[in-house]
Amino acid sequence: MDNLFILLLLPVLGALVLAFVRQAKTAKQLALLLSLVTLACTIPFWVGFVPDASMQFEQRFAWIPALGIHFHIGIDGISLPLVLLTNGLIPLIILAAFNYDYKGGFYALVLFMQAGLLLVFTALDAFAFYVGWEVALIPIYFICALWGGENRIRVTLKFFIYTFLGSLFMLVAIIYLHLQVPSGDYALASFYQLALDSGTQRWIFWAFFLAFAIKMPIFPFHTWQPDTYTEAPTAGTMLLAGIMLKMGVYGVIRWLIPVAPLGFAAYGQLALVLCVIGVVYASIIAFRQQDVKRLVAYSSIAHVGLIGAGVFAWNVQGVQGAIIQMVNHGINVVGLFFVLDIVIRRLGTRELAAMGGIAKPAPALAVMFLILVMGAVGLPLTNGFIGEFLLLLGIYEYGIWYAAFGGLTLILGAVYMLRLYQNSMLGDVNAQTAVFPDVKGTEWAVLTILVVLVVGIGVYPKSLLDVSEAAVTDLIDKVNLINK
């Protein structure tokens, strides 16, 4: 049961089946069932995982032998949390979409995207990585453009071209690296062993950086993000914010820094500065937003900026913090967008001014929303705390001023998040919010699971930290050895 290839194949098969389901009710139930099967098949990998630095469950098939391309996949401590996050969030996202009547095509796209994401997180061959990278992009484009808001056509095309351009530069870099490999393959291990001169590594760094920075997004490559998040349907926003932006962070950890360590030595600081600017900039903008979806979109830029800064600090605390915070951010942001979806669906508006006092008619929603907000803000005993703590510790080791500015995220985050909470849940009720129905049906299930995860990881984060520690330490040592 621990065949990684089959795990990647399951969502594809599920998507093929779902594509032909016309009836909305059958489609959602079948989609949930299929995603749960995939989740169940992920458990053996978690149980069977040995927490050391080695690559496990490896599989390698010849794909295009004439070009040296292999379908090479495996899981280590860095990819396992993200695989778990992906397969854990997809059923939740499907369940969260139960309030809408989507046909099978919608769920087929979600599952197809899941396959692409899993390939990105497990690929040990650069070609396979690139394929996964693009395969994840096509479905989300269709999800956002088919079921999105008014301006969806322009916004999603911008999103697509922007990310596609970034990844093309990565493709050029990948081919270039491949041509330098003596054994003529695309293996990650071969790329690690390349000792290219500093000048070459510098432009390799930028080629990869562009692709990842656009995806995450890091300031100033973020301009596609708020529009896309706002226009996308809630499930699309959840996929984008919850899982897809982790592709960028994962890419930095797995590919960018170890493949171009000298480039990283030259430009890592600049990248870190950009991340920190993003934290402060996005937080300030988030505070000014009237549109609740846009507010959370900007908060996502801020959070990811901190995660990116932790990665570019490149020490054990920073990277460990980034990995656990990727999982946490995925959980929190999906929760926040789900609560907003409930509110927007019932009130028919995204304007913060039109809300207020929802806590009175809907206490259960208010409580769970509060816990999710606390998690996003990073209060102790919620999941966000340990992640942000480790991140800031890592950044502090890199430089105290970076930590000082990065640390603003805690304060500013609390400010805009509590403003969101206050203006929507507390205060006086208006005509519409006075009769606001509380959570019901599947909404209960989604929110309860998310809240349990927020508190669970917050109280006992060790289970996640142990998984990645050995792999992270090993990778950091490898890079630091080269840079010394």
Partner 1 sequence: MSAIITLSLLAILLLYLGLFKAKAALLPVSLLGLVATLVMYGTDWAKDAEPRYNGMVLFDQYAVAFSILCVGVTALVLLLSKNYFDKASTHVAEYYALILFSLTGALLVVSFHNLAMLFIGMEIMSVALYILAGIRKKDFASNEAALKYFLMGAFSTGFLLFGIALLYGATGSFDLAAIKSHVVDNPHGVSPLFHGGILLLIVGLAFKVGAAPFHFWTPDVYDGAPILITTFMSTVVKTAAFAGFLRLFAFCFVPLQDFWMPVLLVITIVTLFVGNITAIVQQSFKRMLAYSSISHAGYMLFAIVAIGATSAESILVYAGAYSLASVVAFGSLILVKRATGSDHFEAFNGLAKKNPYLALAITVAMLSLAGIPLTAGFVGKFMMFSGVLADYQVLLVILAAVNAAMGIFYYFRVIVAMYFRPLDRDQIAVAGEYRVVLIVAVLITLVLGVYPAWVAGLL
The least distance separating partner 1 from the CB of residue 374, rounded to whole angstroms, comes to 39
Write the CB contacts of 423 (distance below 8 Å, at least 6 apart in sequence).
Answer: 352, 353, 355, 356
CA dist., res. 302 & res. 241, Å (int):
12
CA dist., res. 101 & res. 448, Å (int):
23
Query: DSSP letter string over 454-484?
Result: HHHHHH-THHHHHHHHHHHHHHHHHHHHHH-
- Closest by CA to 377, choosing from 310, 281, 317, 306, is 306
The least distance separating partner 1 from the CB of residue 410, rounded to whole angstroms, comes to 38
Q: Is 161 in the site for partner 1 (CB under 8 A)?
A: yes
Map the footprint of partner 1 across residues 54-73, applying CB under 8 A.
62-67
Total site size for partner 1, rule CB under 8 A? 29
Q: Which of 90, 114, 117, 152 binds partner 1 (CB under 8 A)?
A: 152
**95 to 134: interface string for partner 1, x by CB under 8 A:** -----------------------------------xx--x
CA dist., res. 114 & res. 239, Å (int):
9
390: amino acid identity, one letter: L
Nearer to partner 1, 144 or 450 (CB): 144
CA dist., res. 239 & res. 80, Å (int):
18
Q: Is 135 in the site for partner 1 (CB under 8 A)?
A: yes
Q: Which of 106, 121, 160, 219 binds partner 1 (CB under 8 A)?
A: 160
Q: Are 380 and 321 in contact (CB under 8 A)?
A: no
Number of neighbouring beta carbons within 10 Å of residue 3: 13
Q: Which of 176, 287, 405, 444 binds partner 1 (CB under 8 A)?
A: 176
Q: Are 336 and 296 in contact (CB under 8 A)?
A: yes
Q: Is 350 in the site for partner 1 (CB under 8 A)?
A: no
Nearer to partner 1, 159 or 369 (CB): 159
The least distance separating partner 1 from the CB of residue 389, rounded to whole angstroms, comes to 39
- Closest by CA to 133, choosing from 146, 147, 119, is 119
Q: Is 181 in the site for partner 1 (CB under 8 A)?
A: no
Nearer to partner 1, 33 or 175 (CB): 175
Q: What is the largest CA-CA distance in the chain?
A: 71
Q: Is 153 in the site for partner 1 (CB under 8 A)?
A: yes
Taking the CA atoms of residue 75, residue 81, residue 85 and residue 87 in that order, the dihedral angle to the nearest 10 degrees is: 30
The least distance separating partner 1 from the CB of residue 330, rounded to whole angstroms, comes to 25
Half-sphere exposure of 106 (CA within 13 A, CB side): 30
Q: Is 205 in the site for partner 1 (CB under 8 A)?
A: no
Q: Is 196 in the site for partner 1 (CB under 8 A)?
A: no
CA dist., res. 482 & res. 185, Å (int):
22
Nearer to partner 1, 135 or 194 (CB): 135
Of the candidate spans 163-171, 291-299, 368-376, 437-445, the one that interacts with partner 1 by CB under 8 A turns out to be 163-171
Q: Which of 1, 6, 175, 381 binds partner 1 (CB under 8 A)?
A: 175
Measure the N-to-C terminal CA separation of the chain; round to a whole number of Å.
43
Q: Is 164 in the site for partner 1 (CB under 8 A)?
A: yes
Of the candidate spans 92-100, 151-159, 276-284, 376-384, the one that interacts with partner 1 by CB under 8 A turns out to be 151-159
Write the CB contacts of 67 (distance below 8 Å, at least 6 apart in sequence).
Answer: none
Q: Is 438 in the site for partner 1 (CB under 8 A)?
A: no
CA dist., res. 359 & res. 429, Å (int):
9
Question: Exposed, middle or buried: residue 182 (CB in 10 Å: 0-12, 13-18, 19+)?
Answer: exposed
The least distance separating partner 1 from the CB of residue 145, rounded to whole angstroms, comes to 5
The least distance separating partner 1 from the CB of residue 162, rounded to whole angstroms, comes to 9
Q: Which of 50, 179, 435, 481 binds partner 1 (CB under 8 A)?
A: 179
Q: Is 178 in the site for partner 1 (CB under 8 A)?
A: yes
Alpha-carbon Rg for the chain, nearest whole angstrom, is 21
CA dist., res. 106 & res. 142, Å (int):
9
Of the candidate spans 155-163, 261-269, 426-434, 470-478, the one that interacts with partner 1 by CB under 8 A turns out to be 155-163
The least distance separating partner 1 from the CB of residue 370, rounded to whole angstroms, comes to 38
Residues that bind partner 1 (CB under 8 A): 62-67, 130-131, 134-135, 138, 142, 145-146, 152-153, 157, 160-161, 164-165, 168-169, 171-172, 175-176, 178-179
